[in-house]
């Protein structure tokens, strides 16, 4: 299997995760709104999936490829990149309501913010494909696809569904048509297939940096969970009993449990 075919397969895996974000908008074809309690649970679930994918998938695989120091160095680099990128885009948090009204300059800014938030997930998918075509993978269309790649693609896809729901909620308030909500949800994750291709190309060309790549993706995703997903859930749950903490904890536990069986494949 040639390089172009490999890149195409990795890109398609990243595209699958992006398309999964659109699934999060589908409930609005049947319901007018999702209450805060369920929204907190969804954010918790998404966080649990990401933490499980980072720990059971990326960190575990990274330790099999390199040392603890290499993994920790990669994780630190992932955190630093997200922090620096966020600071460069200070005061540029984009409300999904603005998607519909964006001019070209605003659209560039929106894409920048979305890249910061979803690019690490694409990197996680791309790094997980490092052993594509080698022995020991799952046979798909005549190609040996690494088990980790299947795990990460499924994990990121599951994570993206509630993220798509969160994006769609303010769009529903604007009476945006359902199919446009699906499009904007998918749009928010479009950097992921690009990130997947970039990461895959990098680790294939510099195999010795693979442990750092695993750590980098894990660090960036864990930081996003702790710095954005969890605070967002707690903010939504302010009016709930106990501030929504039980719903958040339950969602996180559910997300981890859903991913646990996949870690034993």
The Cβ of residue 155 has, within 10 Å, a number of other Cβ atoms equal to: 29
DSSP 3-state percent helix, strand, coil across the chain (nearest 5): 80, 0, 20
Predicted local confidence at residue 174, as pLDDT: 75
Give me the residue label for tokens 């790094």.
127
Predicted local confidence at residue 69, as pLDDT: 94
Quote the longest CA-to-CA distance of the chain.
56
Predicted local confidence at residue 133, as pLDDT: 63
- CA–chain centroid gap for 73, Å, is 21
The Cβ of residue 258 has, within 10 Å, a number of other Cβ atoms equal to: 16
Predicted local confidence at residue 127, as pLDDT: 92
> pLDDT 10s digit of each residue in the chain, 265 long?
577 888 889 999 999 999 999 998 898 888 777 788 888 998 899 899 989 989 888 998 889 888 999 999 999 999 998 888 777 665 555 666 666 665 555 556 565 666 667 888 899 999 999 887 666 566 666 677 888 888 899 989 988 888 888 788 777 777 778 888 898 888 888 889 999 999 999 888 888 888 999 999 999 889 988 988 898 889 888 888 888 899 999 999 999 998 887 666 5
Which residues, at least 6 apart from 168, have a Cβ–Cβ distance to it below 8 Å? 24, 25, 28, 96, 181, 184, 185
With 0-12 CB in 10 A as exposed, 13-18 as middle and 19+ as buried, what is 119?
buried
Residue spans of alpha helices (H) in 89-145 = 104-128
- C-alpha span between 116 and 157 (Å, rounded): 18
Predicted local confidence at residue 148, as pLDDT: 87
Predicted local confidence at residue 4, as pLDDT: 80
Predicted local confidence at residue 265, as pLDDT: 57
Predicted local confidence at residue 159, as pLDDT: 86
User: pTM (2 decimals)?
Assistant: 0.83
């Amino acid at each position: 299997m040639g390089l172009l075919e490999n890149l195409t397969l990795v890109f398609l895996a990243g595209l699958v995760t992006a398309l999964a974000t659109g699934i999060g908008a589908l409930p609005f074809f049947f319901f007018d709104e999702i209450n805060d309690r369920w929204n907190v649970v969804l954010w918790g679930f998404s966080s649990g999936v990401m933490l499980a994918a980072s720990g059971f998938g990326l960190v575990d695989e990274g330790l099999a490829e390199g040392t603890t120091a290499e993994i920790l160095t990669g994780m630190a680099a992932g955190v630093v990149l997200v922090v620096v990128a966020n600071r460069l885009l200070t005061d540029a948090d984009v409300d999904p309501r603005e998607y519909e009204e964006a001019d070209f300059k605003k659209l560039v800014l929106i894409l920048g913010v979305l890249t910061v938030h979803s690019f690490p997930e694409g990197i996680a998918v791309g790094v997980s494909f490092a052993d594509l075509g080698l022995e020991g993978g799952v046979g798909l269309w005549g190609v040996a696809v690494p088990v980790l790649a299947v795990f990460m693609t499924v994990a990121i896809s599951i994570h993206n569904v509630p993220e798509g729901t969160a994006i769609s909620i303010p769009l529903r308030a604007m009476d945006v048509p359902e199919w446009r909500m699906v499009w904007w949800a998918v749009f928010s994750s479009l950097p992921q297939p690009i990130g997947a291709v970039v990461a895959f190309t990098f680790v294939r060309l510099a195999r010795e940096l693979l442990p750092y790549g695993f750590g980098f993706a894990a660090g960036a995703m864990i930081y996003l969970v702790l710095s954005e997903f969890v605070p967002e859930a707690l903010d939504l749950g302010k009016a709930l009993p106990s501030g929504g903490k039980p719903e958040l904890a339950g969602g996180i536990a559910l997300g981890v449990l859903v991913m646990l069986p996949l870690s034993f494949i």
